[in-house]
Amino acid sequence: MSAQRLRVAVLGATGSIGSNTLDVLARHPDRFELTAVSAFSRANELADVCLAHQPRWAVLPEPEAAQALQQRLRDQGCRTEVLAGAQALAQVAAATEVDAVMAAIVGAAGLPPCLAAARAGKRLMLANKEALVVGGAFFMRAVEEGGALLLPVDSEHSALFQCLPLDASTWSDTIDHIVLTASGGPFRTRDPQTLASVTPDEACAHPNWVMGRKISVDSATMMNKGLEVIEARWLFHLQPDQIRVLIHPQSIVHSMVVCRDQSVLAQLGTPDMRVPIAYALSYPERVVSGASRLDLLNTPSLSFEAPDGRRFPALQLAWAALRGPEGSTAVLNAANEVAVEAFLARRLSFTGIAQTVERVLNDVPPSAADVASVDDLLALDARARAAARRTVGG
Ligand code: NAD
Ligand code: MG
């Protein structure tokens, strides 16, 4: 084994981003080594990953499931050590044997291991946008203090990052605003009167991307773009009014930077998450990602439209939370996670998602004491979840 190989932990290895990451890693066994993996409920899939790649560690939430997996792997001659619990996630994220962490857990549950990786100065490849939306200034401080290299994996933020150098001080005076592009999801042209009755499967049928169910629903409400507005605010040190959103149904232009002199920088490509994943893994170099080539001669015409605020009320809530007291974005995220879960379980209507988030934002205004430490932020997250559960009646 070469000592130069990047030793990678993939947190959320059984998900959509996790499996795309494993695909890119497997294309470059000379450059990357899979050192740790985690899953939440899909222990069988995690077992397959361990048998195929023999990572040093695997993490599951429950000790019983971890023991069962350990036994199964041992019986098959696999030497992966299986650990259990949230503490173990943070432990592998910060381990000296790990150089880089792919944060591909969905939701605020990913915040503690992200912070552990940030404090330990890792290359932190962030797909888990909710962690940054909740952690905000704390997250960025942990990155700075730990000397971590925070690299975006979200395709829009990767696009911006490919247009702008990492050090914002070199360009912050030169840009006017950025434009995050959005596909508009499956309901871009659907009669708004019918949105209250759409089913989880309809909401998860994304036109351009195959993703986990939570982010698919977020794309249908456009809350995903709202979370990305907040993510961009932190990653690129922007003011809320420097971030704009345009619907671009073809998902070819992944985002744009509009400079002071009106020059516009953009990144284009086929919609394939392996491109931003490969860039985060190989930055500042580039490696083959497995994505197909963009063939502009056989691509439908690129079009752009303004998002309709009545059809997508969730999007505006992100700016409201950014302009509100610190901690409001954590409240927004918590309420959204609960509301999406309730929608997927058919306990809440699709239009009820944005209504729930708006109500919880009004009912749970954060104070300075709620953002004094990460524990305070997590307590605020729990309070907002409780308020959201009361609102959806679950
Ligand atoms: P997914 O549902 O397919 O996978 C989520 C992963 O997280 C799974 O491995 C699951 O086992 C694990 N997980 C779920 N809940 C957990 C918990 N409480 N504790 C520990 N692990 C848990 O989701 P995904 O589509 O891969 O998205 C992952 C993250 O990446 C999300 O934050 C999403 O917003 C972001 N993202 C995804 C895409 C995409 O194309 N899928 C694009 C951009 C950003
Ligand atoms: Mg995105």
How many angstroms separate the alpha carbon of residue 11 from the centre of ligand 1? 9
Q: Which residues line ligand 1 (CB under 6 A)?
A: 12-18, 39-40, 42, 104-107, 109, 127-130, 154, 209, 211-212, 214-215, 273
How many angstroms separate the alpha carbon of residue 102 from the centre of ligand 1? 11
Residue 215 has a pLDDT of: 96
Residue 210 has a pLDDT of: 86
Q: How far apart are CA 248 and CA 255, in angstroms?
A: 10
Pocket test for ligand 1, best of 105, 151, 218 (most atoms within 8 A of CB): 105
How many angstroms separate the alpha carbon of residue 80 from the centre of ligand 2? 33
218-261 tens-digit pLDDT: 999 999 999 999 999 999 999 999 999 999 999 999 999 999 99
Pocket test for ligand 1, best of 14, 16, 181, 204 (most atoms within 8 A of CB): 16
Tokens representing residue 290 in the block:
């497995």
Q: How far apart are CA 38 and CA 317, in angstroms?
A: 32
Average model confidence (pLDDT) for the chain?
Answer: 96
Report the atom number in ligand 1 closest to the C-alpha of 13: 9
Pocket test for ligand 1, best of 60, 211, 254, 275 (most atoms within 8 A of CB): 211
Report the atom number in ligand 1 closest to the C-alpha of 40: 11
Q: What pLDDT band is residue 16 in, cutting at 50, 70 and 90?
A: very high
Q: What DSSP element (H or E) covers 52? A: helix 43-53
How many angstroms separate the alpha carbon of residue 156 from the centre of ligand 2? 5
pTM reported for the whole predicted model? 0.97
147-180 tens-digit pLDDT: 999 999 999 999 999 999 878 888 888 999 999 9
Q: How far apart are CA 7 and CA 122, in angstroms?
A: 11
Report the atom number in ligand 1 closest to the C-alpha of 20: 26
297-331 tens-digit pLDDT: 999 899 999 999 999 999 999 999 999 999 999 99
Q: What pLDDT band is residue 1 in, cutting at 50, 70 and 90?
A: very low
344-394 tens-digit pLDDT: 999 999 999 999 999 999 999 999 999 999 899 999 999 999 999 999 986
Residue 206 has a pLDDT of: 86
Q: Of the bound ligands, which one is closest to the alpha carbon of residue 229?
A: 2
CA distances from 169 to 59, 164, 166, 175 (A): 38, 11, 9, 11
> CATH class for domain 6-153?
alpha beta
Residue 181 has a pLDDT of: 98
Q: How far apart are CA 370 and CA 98, in angstroms?
A: 33
**Domain map (residue ranges) of the chain:** 6-153
